[in-house]
Amino acid sequence: MSNKSIKILGPLVFLLLAGFIYRQVIHQPGWKESLQQMGVAIRGPQQWKLWLVLLLMPVNWGIEARKWQLALRPIGGIGYGDAFRAVFTGTTMASFTPNRMGEYLGRILYLKEGKRIKSISLTMACSIAQLMVTLLIGLAGILYLRATAQTALAGLPHGQMALTVLLWIVVVLLIILTFIYCRLTLVASLLLKIPGLRRYSAFIKVLENFDAAILLRILFLSFGRYIVFIVQYSLVFPVFGVALGFWQVWSGMSVVFLVMAVVPTLTFLTELGLRWEASIQVLELYSSNVVGIFATSFAIWLINLIIPALIGSLLIVSIKLFKSR
């Protein structure tokens, strides 16, 4: 790749991503009303809440960067600055791939050649921790919804049944993932005994080097990141006239996060439709302000995913330049 083509790679990805974002937004029902509400909110007396949510975005990804930095210790680690840039670049790559699988590719670009393959399993362990937190709090959210919104649920076709099915799916997944996460060394040794997997020994053996202290810290940071998400939604809902108490936001959004975690999506650009639909189906149990729910979901999606993805698209240039030296 020539130096000239390297220089235009980042802007090209930026423009491509911007085009995908535009196409995704205009195909969502109610997007014009949501944008209008956002325009009013930015100029309104509660605009400070939106700016605070924007400031919490680097906190959110900063926690994720620290988690990844800890996860990479068994293979020599990475500097926090590189880890922070890596999660932004990973977000960019995730925007073009199913279930954000490209996130791994974006991150490992910041690692040396010999560490890249080994880092994939470590990154997956990091993701398992966040998923465990999502499942655990989502389980509590389901129980809270069933206890406090029985009347509203009774008016929904198969509402109680859907929550019950989701609850048992979560319980099974949580048990499996907890065992895997707490017994990574055992899981790695069992996998290495399978003949077909021995060729991936370098990929698997690295899991044996995790110690309990690191795993516990990663789990704690995952919980902290989840709290940031809830705080962001708690700040934005009132801005768009959605009157919800803190526990209603917590229970409702915990179920929405849960649905988004277990339902496959093509990319997180197409995830916007699922985010809106899940938010409406769940939060309508507490509020009839559908446009406000739309606007909140769009604002959080824009701040937490799209802005970092656009930043990451420009960081690709520096990665390529660095590797070409």
Q: Does residue 220 register a pLDDT over 90?
A: yes
Distance, CA of 24 to CA of 42 (rounded, Å): 22
Band of residue 293 on the pLDDT scale cut at 50, 70, 90: confident
pLDDT of 212 > 70? The answer is: yes
Confidence of residue 177 (pLDDT cuts 50, 70, 90): very high
User: What's the CA gap between 262 and 201, in Å, rounded?
Assistant: 29
- How far, in Å, are 56, 134, 139, 319 from residue 266 at the CA level? 27, 20, 25, 26
Average the pLDDT over 275-284 and give the result. 74
Q: What is the pLDDT of residue 7?
A: 47
pLDDT: which is higher, 311 or 116: 311
- The DSSP line for 245-276 is -HHHHHHHHHHHHHHHHHS--S-TTTHHHHHH
Task: Assess contact for 233 and 249: CB atoms under 8 A.
Answer: yes
pLDDT at 115: 80
Residue 231 banded pLDDT, cuts 50, 70, 90: very high
Token reading at 254 = 């915990």
Are 145 and 255 contacting, i.e. CB atoms less than 8 angstroms apart?
Answer: yes
Check pLDDT > 90 for residue 12.
Answer: no
The CA distance from 134 to 78, in Å, is 26
Segment of 43-52, 151-160, 249-258 carrying the highest mean pLDDT:
249-258
Of 134-138, 193-197, 204-208, which has the strongest mean pLDDT? 134-138
Split into its structural domains, the chain has a count of 1
On the question of pLDDT at 97 being above 80, the answer is no
pTM over 0.75: yes
96's CB contacts (< 8 A; 6+ apart) are: 20, 102, 267
Which of these ranges, 31-40, 78-87, 275-284, 291-300, has the smallest mean pLDDT? 31-40
Domain extent at residue 265: 3-323
Crossing angle of helices 159-182 and 212-239, in 10° steps, is 150
